Amino acid sequence: MSRFNGKILQAGLVLLDAALVIAAFGLSLYLRFDGNVPEMWIDSLEAILIPVVLINLATYLVFGFYRRAWRYAGIDDLMLIVFAVTTGLVGTFIYSYFFDMLPRSVYIIAWLLLILFVGGSKMAFRLLADHLGRKGGGARKRNALIVGAGEAGVLVARELKKHCSSVRLKVVGFIDDSPAKQKQIIQGLPVLGTCEDLPEIVRPKAIDEVIIAMPSAPYRKLQEVVTICAELPVKIKTVPGIFEILQDQVTIKALKDVDIEDLLRRPTVKLDMESIAGYLAGQTVLVTGAGGSIGSELCRQIAQLKPDKLILLDHDENGIFYIHMELVEKHEGLNVVPMIRDIQDRVTLEKVMAEQQPTVVFHAAAYKHVPLMEMNAEEAVRNNIEGSKNLIDLSADYGVKRFVFISTDKAVNPSSVMGATKRMVEIYLQDKARNCNSCIYCAVRFGNVLGSKGSVVLLFREQIARGGPVTVTHPEMKRFFMTIPEAVQLVIQAGALGKGGEIFVLDMGEQVQIIDLARDMIILSGLKPEKDIKIEFVGLRPGEKLYEELFNDRENFALTRHERIFIAPDTTYKKELIQQELASLGKKLGMKSLEL
């Protein structure tokens, strides 16, 4: 029935356009002669009228007029109408030239009238749909205020206008800190003030919801908005991945409550897909630690780049089971090989390398929990150092072309067993890179990732759900944070930049105080810090530092061609300095210095 109704609608649109073409040419002839049209020109118009109508309708059909949803018409659709009308008039002029020509000025007038008539009729559909959408529905619409009058905010406003009847939201205006935007009208909505003005705007305007649309704003700015709104009788919402909306992957109908990940989100990573595809497409790629948070996301993103084979290696059978099932379901035809193996077992690992012949290796397998590794230093050495050494050596022996090691900011001036093991592997990898011409070795160093297993965000979330207290080690504790997809995108990009021996450092943004993170998460849960949920300081645990570093004092900071990846070139190290550092790290780990 709906298909039948659609055919009737299309037929109605065709008839309307035919009438508009007839009206445009009749009126243009009338205007050309000021109402006194000679009989000969009326006869000429009648002679060519049917072919002219058919030419224009055929043109509109080719341009897709009768497949478009005109209720969502915008600037792009208006431009299409101009092109289509122009094309139709050119066809009409050519036909008339060979059969029965009208005065040239008639065609110019007809062109202008058709743009007005056809464009106006299509825009009328949108206006009618908007009017009926706003009029429909019985329940009261909630008043909403959009914080951010940039591109994201304008997109949110436009989409909310389209779907106002379904989301039951009426946008009252914008909030923006830019002085240039104050009192401007954007999308028919006023910019009412700055973030500081929120308390004076929310109550008089009876605002029910505040929608944050500032995807590139720093954490401090977003935190300021959340803190102000926490004292007001409003719900705080955000848009689920504004960049996903721009790519038409999700709908703006799905407004969601603000989560801590939304506050820490930065603009999406711009990837150089050509260079990435150059070293991953058609290759046999091995990912160690594939069942973990970083490893599994690496597998997801690598799978999209069309490798010939993707080998998932981990000793966690549950993790491998789930990521293997996911990849097989989503990437039909991709050769995915799940392998339950331990990188500490050199014999088994060598068998894997000999049988599978990987050409690219991403090494993400590691023990990472700082306090736990302080109590299990021998296992940290065995897994993080010996296991990594096995993989680095075997990669050179079995023809691996590119090796990317996932390191950590805790490897810089390490105070923990975990950080010391990672630093030792960095040094060993750099030495291997200097002495091996067949494989490009590089390391990528970054900080905490949101949502990874055992992360502080998940811990705080669990503590808030239990009613508290939220435990923070120290009031001055700071950490770098990234989302898992963001970190992995940069890791893959860094792998394309490596020439041998580099330690790449990802732009982590600004460090966030953990106490601020805890307070924000409590507020976003609709609760008050200290009143509803207590915050307790439990003291630094063994191996922990108050803040992390991204470079040590001997590494030269340098830029790459990617704006968010830095490089610490291995150029200033002398052999004796390396041996001294290895000896110091070995002492910390209770082991002999690593032999290079």
Q: Return d(Cα 511, Cα 547) in angstroms, integer.
A: 8
Residue 576 pLDDT grade (very low, low, confident, very high; cuts 50, 70, 90): low
Q: What is the mean pLDDT of residues 331-350?
A: 93
Q: Which residues pair with 170 in a beta bridge?
A: 143
Q: Which residues pair with 512 in a beta bridge?
A: 479
Total residues found in the chain within this entry: 596
Q: Which of 185-194, 386-395, 566-575 has the highest mean pLDDT?
A: 386-395
Q: Return d(Cα 344, Cα 54) in angstroms, integer.
A: 76
Q: 470's torsion region: left (phi>0), alpha (psi -120 to 50) or beta? A: beta
**Core vs surface per residue 354-389: b (16+ CB within 10 A) or e:** eebebbbbbbbbbbbebbbbbeebeebbbbbbbbbb
Q: What is the mean pLDDT of residues 554-578?
A: 60
Q: What is the mean pLDDT of residues 193-202?
A: 88
Give pLDDT tens digits for 145-173: 888 888 778 888 877 776 666 567 788 88
Residue 325: other Cβ atoms inside 10 A:
12
Evaluate the CA torsion angle 516, 517, 522, 526 in order and state its sign: positive
Annotated catalytic sites, by residue?
Answer: 410
Q: What are phi and psi of 255, to 5 degrees?
A: -60, 140
Q: Return d(Cα 524, Cα 259) in angstroms, integer.
A: 7
Enumerate domains of the chain plus CATH numbers: 2-135 (no CATH), 142-258 (3.40.50.720), 273-448+481-509+549-589 (3.40.50.720)
Give pLDDT tens digits for 55-80: 888 888 888 777 766 665 667 777 88
Least confident span in 72-76, 96-100, 355-359, 403-407: 72-76
**Nearest to residue 298, comparing CAs of 449, 163, 91, 162?**
449
